[in-house]
Structure 1
Amino acid sequence: MSMIQNFLRVNLETLNSFLADSSVLSDMVYSKETIHLDNLIDIDKAWEGIFFLLTGESIGTYDQASPPLSWILVGPNDIDRNQDMGYGPATYTNIEQTRQISLALQDISMEELSQRFDAATMLEKDIYPDIWDDENALDYLLQYFEDLKAFYQMAYMQNEAVILFLN
């Protein structure tokens, strides 16, 4: 079974509804209508690879990465610590934290991210998934990085919070 990182842009009212009743979040993202949500993206299995390129850390050491980029893997705030969205609870960044992430991502070019790619180190550190010696691995990460960058830019422009969860 694979682990997929998901990101959901929400306004403050929707965020507050999830904080009041976390089942509203799971009902929303696991409903048949989910495929029609334009504010929900996933970055497939690229999440830890992207995180590693951005911070130099893995999921096991994510807490050693510096904000705001550390918040791309695990948000600093919990929706409901007891809710399991597939691989643990959903976390979120508030509107200001989302803005900080967006601005930090805008400063990182594809060339800079490409220069940080080191397949041997990623394999050695057991960065998920174990594909880094594949000739298309970097392109895979860069594609999802661009999607993530655009997603956070949209969240920033629309004054939204972002909910993160692995499933």
Structure 2
Amino acid sequence: MSMIQNFLRVNLETLNSFLADSHSLSKMVYSKEAIHLDNLIDIDKAWEGIFFLLTGESIGTYDQAALPLSWLLVGPNDIDRNQDMGYGPATYTDIEQTRQIDLALKEISTDELTQRFDSATMLEKDIYPAIWEDENALDYLLQYFEDLKAFYQMATLHHEAVILFLN
């Protein structure tokens, strides 16, 4: 099974509606119409690789990563702790926390991530998915990193919160 990290940009009103009724979140993101949402992205299976390059941490040690980048895997706020979105509950960053992530991502270039890429270490630390010896692995991560940066830039521009979940 694949584990895919998803990000959903929402305004405050929509966030509050999901907090009031978390089932409306799952209905929306798992509907047939979800593929047409421009505020919903996934970074495929690149999530832990990107996170490792950004922070030096894995999913098992995400809470040891520095803020605000530690919020890229698990947001500091819960939508509904008891709702399983595939691999646990959805979390979110509020508008200010989202802005902080955007600012942190702007500081990091693809050249920096390229320098941090070490396939042997990533395999040794069991960073998901175990593709790091593949000649296209770095390009795979960098493409999704650029998508993630653009996504957070858009969220900041529109004063949106971001909901995160693995499925």
Q: Which band: TM-score by shorter chain? A: over 0.9
Q: Which residue of the partner structure matches residue 85 of structure 1?
A: 85
Q: Which residue of the partner structure matches residue 51 of structure 1?
A: 51
* 1:114-151 superposed Cα distances (whole Å, 9 cap, x missing partner): 10100000000000000001110000000000000000
Look up the equivalent residue of 1:39 and give its one-letter code: N
- TM-score, scaled to structure 1: 0.99
| % identity of equivalent residues | 87
> The residue matched to 1:163 in structure 2 has which SS?
strand
Look up the equivalent residue of 1:27 and give its one-letter code: K
Superposition pairs of residues 94-105 of structure 1, within 5 angstroms: 94-105=94-105
Matched, 1:31 2:25: no
Q: Which residue of the partner structure matches residue 151 of structure 1?
A: 151
CA distance in structure 2 between the partners assigned to 1:98 and 1:72 by the alignment:
10
Instruction: State the number of aligned residues.
Output: 167
> The residue matched to 2:89 in structure 1 has which SS?
coil
CA distance in structure 2 between the partners assigned to 1:123 and 1:32 by the alignment:
36
CA distance in structure 2 between the partners assigned to 1:109 and 1:38 by the alignment:
24
CA shift for structure 1 position 3: 0.3
CA distance in structure 1 between the partners assigned to 2:90 and 2:123 by the alignment:
27
> The residue matched to 1:74 in structure 2 has which SS?
coil
Matched, 1:122 2:122: yes
Q: Which residue of the partner structure matches residue 109 of structure 1?
A: 109
CA shift for structure 1 position 105: 0.2
Which runs of 4 or more aligned residues in structure 1 lie more than 6 Å from their structure 2 counterparts after TM superposition? Answer: none
Matched, 1:72 2:72: yes
CA shift for structure 1 position 47: 0.1
CA distance in structure 1 between the partners assigned to 2:63 and 2:35 by the alignment:
32
The alignment yields a C-alpha RMSD, in angstroms, of 0.3
Q: Which residue of the partner structure matches residue 15 of structure 2?
A: 15
CA distance in structure 1 between the partners assigned to 2:74 and 2:114 by the alignment:
23
> The residue matched to 1:96 in structure 2 has which SS?
helix
* 1:47-104 superposed Cα distances (whole Å, 9 cap, x missing partner): 0000000000000000100110000010000000000000000000000000000000
- Could you list the runs of 5+ residues in structure 1 that have no partner in the other structure? none
CA distance in structure 1 between the partners assigned to 2:6 and 2:135 by the alignment:
25
CA shift for structure 1 position 5: 0.2
